[in-house]
Amino acid sequence: MDSQELKTLINYYCQERYFHHVLLVASEGIKRYGSDPVFRFYHAYGTLMEGKTQEALREFEAIKNKQDVSLCSLLALIYAHKMSPNPDREAILESDARVKEQRKGAGEKALYHAGLFLWHIGRHDKAREYIDRMIKISDGSKQGHVLKAWLDITRGKEPYTKKALKYFEEGLQDGNDTFALLGKVAAPR
Mean pLDDT of all residues belonging to the chain: 91
Res 175: pLDDT: 72
Q: Cβ contacts of residue 51 below 8 Å, gap of 6+?
A: none
First and final C-alpha spacing in the chain: 30
pTM: 0.91
Put residue 87 in one of left, alpha, beta given phi > 0 → left and psi -120 to 50 → alpha.
beta
Query: Which residue stretches of 84-141 are H helix?
Result: 89-105, 108-120, 124-137
Task: Sketch the domain layout of the chain as residue ranges.
Answer: 3-121, 141-189
Q: b/e per residue, 44-59, with b = 16+ CB within 10 A?
A: bbbbbbeeebeebbeb
Give the model's pLDDT for residue 158. 66
Mean per-residue pLDDT for 54-79?
95
Q: Which string of b and e fits 16-31 if b means at least 16 CB within 10 Å?
A: eeebebbbbbbeebbe
Question: Which range (12-26, 130-144, 153-167) has the least confidence?
Answer: 153-167
CATH topology of domain 3-121: 1.25.40
**pLDDT attached to residue 140:** 77
The amino acid occupying position 137 is I
